[in-house]
Amino acid sequence: MSGRHIMTAEEIRRATIRISHEIVEKQAGTSGLALVGIQRRGVPLARRIAASIAENESVDVPVGALDITFYRDDLSLVAQQPVVKGTDLPFDLNGSTIVLVDDVLYTGRTIRAAMDALVDFGRPQAIRLAVLVDRGHRELPIRADHVGKNVPTSREEIVRVHLAEIDDEDAVLIDRVEVREPEAEPVA
Amino acid sequence: MTDLDISRAWLVDPAAGREGPGDIVVRDGVLESVVWLEGEDASGVDDRGVIVAPGFVDLHAHFREPGNEDAETIATGMAAAAHGGFTTVCVMPNTAPALDDPAVLARVAAAREASSSPIRVLAFGSVSAGRGGETLAALGELADAGVIGFSDDGSPVTSGPLLRNALAYAGALGLPIVEHPEDAALTAGAEMSDGFVATVLGLRGWPAAAEEAAVARDLALLADVVRDVPAARLHLTHVSTAGALELVRRAKAAGLPVTCDVTPHHLALTDEWVAGSRRWAWEASGNPWDDGAITDAPYSSALRVNPPLRSVADAAACREALLDGTADAVASDHAPHTPVDKDVEFGLAANGISGIETALGVLLAAVDAGLVSLGQAVEALTVGPARVIGSAWGADQQPGLVEGSPADLVVFDRSESWTVTAQTLASKGKNTPLLGRALSGRVLATIAAGRLVYEAGAD
Amino acid sequence: MTVPPAAEISTPADDAPVVVPSVDAAPETQAVAWRHRHLLDLDVVSWPEIELVMRTTDAMREVLERPIAKVPALRGRNVTILFYEASTRTRVSFEVAAKNLSADVVNIAAATSSVSKGESLVDTVRTVEALGAELLVIRHAVSGAPYLAAETFSGSVINGGDGWHAHPTQALLDLYTMRAHLPGGSVEGRKVVILGDVLHSRVARSNIWSLTAAGADLWLCGPATLLRGFEAWAGRGAAAGRRFHVTSSVDEALRDADVVMALRIQRERMASGLLPSLREYAARYGLSAARLALARPGALVMHPGPMNEGVEISPDVAAGTQSLITEQVTNGVAVRMALLYLLAGTRPGDAA
């Protein structure tokens, strides 16, 4: 597909490692930590971060997956993206520090929905946010604790993250949005 | 009184058994001249444009007055008849009170007078008192008061002995019994024709056997009565099944004095319409789910009618009966209903289709499809019914285009169509499954007893 | 505070019920979207759309397993349940489903409402719409009534059962239940038997549409009087390639069956002369352990409920190890949650 590369595979790898160090640094260790990837691409990212932490700290931090389909505030998207990819949180959230992981941070609505979902499962002690790309244009007062790359964008652009686990390559691309109906834009 | 000149139209005179290009002139309500064109003058005129025929005769209509004037009055019924090209209508006695004595007949006559329309409204008296099916109505008095026959229509005469007595008594009066053939025990709770569509839609089926069994019984009783009362006559109305029509065919061949009519909706629509299909019977396969025929929502209550719309084979049998004379006439069974009675769940809706204005258009669809000739269609709406009415018809001759007689005509254009809507229907009854459909054969003018009763306006 | 050891995202074992889908395996190509404004019957629902409902139901099953079995998907939306026919289980099932989606629920039992004073269906639907109903679940004793409601109502109508005609949510939960227990998660080629009063059964009719779409080897079985009209449907298939079998021989029907679904016999059938007695029905068609033994070992036993134990199904079979009857109820809530969710996402321009 067309689009400019704004992160190469190597840049993604380094950013992921740096984020994993920052997470441990902020927590002053790994105790109480759990990573929760937001479907869909937040999940492999969360796994990679956990793998990096395991390499450096020799600790396996729990990893979960969170699908926010039922927590969106816009039902008109149901027709476009009706089905869920699955929520699996195989650990106790109560008292833990959850680091939400997502590929792109945009308006902040996905993160708001993710927090709504999380609190239905238990009461974490703290929730933090790690994203690969922050493209600005927040509509809610949400900020990421850990950012791979800040990319200023305009609303006519679209940022796509490709991860080998899903897309056969690692890359972050930016492209112009084709003139389409609003519901075609991704929820981010 | 009307004046009308029409030249180079296609004239149909079923009494004379003649049709072809011609001119007609009406002066002061009299059909002054009928000129049949020959040779050069006739070229360029065919039977696909303007047609002139005798005013149509409807053997079977419900005008709801007295008792249910919200659904239709005699006046609105006559307006609807005129729009449909009918100049004579025979109304059924299932009013409230039933037309079982001359006092009620007088109310009908009064309403007819008050409308000041020249359309002829003839009435059937009921067979039984109050249409209760137990004792005979005042048949003699009704005959004296001018009814053209007797019927408990809406219901069959369930009691065999009562029907036998009625056939004898009416026969002696020279009038027919018009029977609605239905075995009520077999049709209890029934909603639509028994068959594949009813099974899929989960509706209680109306077995064909219910009509065939009733017809068989009625014919057996007629055969019995005719031995003592040779003038006895039976007319079976709205026959709808192949089986029943075959029984009538054989009875006629055996010389029994029986006649019957079929409705336009039974020869052109089928039970698959209830599933949401909207194709004519001759285009239908019987399985609307298989070939993408479903275009409308199912369970339209405008399709709930007694007898129900039947199978493709039954509709074909109705057309066949018209062609071979087993069916003597097409009658509309015009049954207007209010929205209160129709805009409800299918199983709770009243039975009946408002059909007097669409009868011609539906019949012409069959003519367009090459299944019935124009001449046969006009016969079925004119001389056919007049023959059934028989001596009670009153006129000296069968409906035709006879110079010097009071003009009684319908003029319609096969090349023009009109759309059936609540606004274009003159009847109060908008309960027809043909709403929204365009029918060809737009009526341009209807003249009854020399007066113009309908003229196509801006509709 | 100790944290449990790292757990990989669990993937379901090959033969376990497919409840939580594997997060990696789910294809991105969600080409099918639910585009029907109403759910009145399954005759117009395509097989890909049925599969979409199945996948969404999987997600709803997962929600039901959570400590708080609730999601805010339908928050602020009004679901009105209008039942003209008495029913506790289906009515409550819809109510629970709507509440699990955080919807506002209005539950109307027609016997106690103005309907019993003679208000027409059209007027009642207009009234509930004026009171804010956006999704209307309707059950009615007259076949076709939901279609009349759908003509009048500007939101979405779900048919909760109409006369003898259709019970689409039941057929979908039946299909879901079968797939959860059949090897490979599919009913294709499997012998599924519906046993009982087929003539009067909306459950049977809706299951015919869904099971023939799924490619099952479907058999309908019962006394001849209760199968009237179905031979014609079976032979024709009511759509290309969707044939099924009809027989009054219970032995032929049950032989090697993979799934047996028993239908309730009502007392009224004796009064209308369709059956000699319940005892005779139980003896000749009742699903006893002996009859079940004709089916494949481990064949699934199902019943839409409520049951007449001892008539169409014996108590030991109903409570036995092969019985999925209570699971059908749980799946019913999940399927109805899925359908409410999918229908809430449709827009006025969508096809009926």
Write down the pLDDT at residue B187: 96
Rounded CA separation A125/C207 (Å): 49
Rounded CA separation A30/A51 (Å): 13
Residue position matching structure tokens 């908008």: B430
Identify the DSSP state of B334. B
**CB-based contact A82 C28, cutoff 8 Å:** no
| A157-162 and A171-176 beta bridge pairing | antiparallel
Backbone angles phi, psi at A41, to 5 degrees: -85, -10
Q: Could you tell me where the DSSP H helices lie in chain A?
A: 9-27, 42-57, 109-119, 164-167
pLDDT at B458 over 60: no
Mean pLDDT, to the nearest integer, of C40-45? 95
Name residues 268-287 of chain B within 8 A of C (Cβ): 287
Residue B11 included in any domain: no
Q: Are C242 and C211 in contact (CB under 8 A)?
A: no
Mean pLDDT, to the nearest integer, of C222-251? 87
Of chain B, the percentage scoring pLDDT greater than 90 comes to: 93
pLDDT at C235 over 90: no
Instruction: Give the count of alpha carbons within 13 A of C144, CB side only.
Output: 26
Rounded CA separation C303/C203 (Å): 10
Contacts of C341 in chain A (CB under 8 A): 70, 78
Contacts of B345 in chain C (CB under 8 A): 121, 140, 142, 144-145, 148
Give the predicted TM-score (pTM) of the model.
0.88
Instruction: Determine which one of B58, B333, B408, B413 is catalytic.
Output: B333
Write down the pLDDT at residue A86: 83
pLDDT band at B287 (very low <50, low <70, confident <90, very high): confident
Write down the pLDDT at residue C346: 82
CATH of the domain at B260: 3.20.20.140
Give Cβ neighbours of residue C260 (< 8 Å, ≥ 6 apart): C193, C195, C254, C287, C292, C295, C299, C300, C301, C302
Distances (CA, A) of C141 to A36, B440, C86, C170, C201: 49, 40, 9, 16, 12
**CB-based contact A75 C55, cutoff 8 Å:** no
Give Cβ neighbours of residue B443 (< 8 Å, ≥ 6 apart): B83, B84, B85, B360, B410, B411, B412, B454, B456
Distances (CA, A) of B241 to A146, B63, B377, B450: 81, 26, 20, 39
Q: Which residues in B188-212 are b (16+ Cβ under 10 Å) and which e?
A: eebbbbbbbbbbbbbbbbbbbbbbb
Mean pLDDT, to the nearest integer, of B419-435? 97
Which member of A50, A54, A95 has the closest CB to residue C1?
A95
| Residues paired with A176 in a beta bridge | A157
Contacts of B346 in chain C (CB under 8 A): 142-145, 148
The domain limits of chain A are: 9-154
Write down the pLDDT at residue C241: 67
Confirm or reject contact between C182 and chain A (CB < 8 A): no
Segments of C129-176 assigned E as strands: 135-140, 156-162
Q: Could you tell me where the DSSP H helices lie in C248-324?
A: 250-254, 268-271, 278-285, 289-292, 315-318
Residue B118 included in any domain: yes
pLDDT at B373 over 90: yes
Q: For chain B, what is the mean pLDDT?
A: 95
**CB-based contact C1 A75, cutoff 8 Å:** no
Of all residues in chain B, the one with the smallest CA distance to C234 is B196
Written as six digits, the tokens of A159 are: 């940022």
**CB-based contact B299 C147, cutoff 8 Å:** yes
Q: For chain C, what is the mean pLDDT?
A: 87
| Residues paired with A66 in a beta bridge | A38
Torsion sign across C-alpha atoms C78, C83, C89, C90: negative
Backbone angles phi, psi at B236, to 5 degrees: -95, 125
Residue B81 sits in which domain range?
Answer: 56-397
Q: Would you call B5 a catalytic residue per the annotation?
A: no
Number of domains, chain B: 1
Q: How far is B95 from chain C (nearest CA, A)?
A: 24
Write down the pLDDT at residue B459: 46
Confirm or reject contact between C289 and chain B (CB < 8 A): no
State CA B98 to chain mean position distance. 20
Mean pLDDT, to the nearest integer, of B99-124? 95
Q: Are A20 and A14 in contact (CB under 8 A)?
A: no
Write down the pLDDT at residue C8: 32
Confirm or reject contact between B202 and chain C (CB < 8 A): yes
Between A74-83, B381-390, B416-425, the lowest mean confidence (pLDDT) is in A74-83
Q: Given 3.40.50.720, 3.50.50.60, 3.40.50.2020, 2.60.40.420, which CATH number is that of A9-154?
A: 3.40.50.2020
pLDDT at B55 over 60: yes
Backbone angles phi, psi at B122, to 5 degrees: -100, 155
Rounded CA separation B410/B53 (Å): 5
Residue B174 included in any domain: yes
Written as six digits, the tokens of C1 are: 């505070």
Local structure of B419: helix, strand or coil: strand
Q: Which amino acid is at C185?
A: G
Q: Which amino acid is at B369?
A: A
Backbone angles phi, psi at B22, to 5 degrees: -170, 170
Rounded CA separation C301/C295 (Å): 10
Local structure of C220: helix, strand or coil: strand
Q: What is the pLDDT along chain A (188 residues), one digit of tens a residue?
A: 568 899 999 999 999 999 999 999 999 999 999 999 999 899 999 999 999 999 999 999 999 999 998 888 777 767 666 666 788 999 999 999 999 999 999 999 999 999 999 988 889 999 999 999 999 999 999 999 999 999 999 999 999 999 999 999 999 999 987 665 554 434 44
Write down the pLDDT at residue A81: 65
Go through the domains of chain C in sequence order and give each one's CATH number. Answer: 42-167+331-344 (3.40.50.1370), 168-324 (3.40.50.1370)
Torsion sign across C-alpha atoms A142, A144, A148, A151: positive
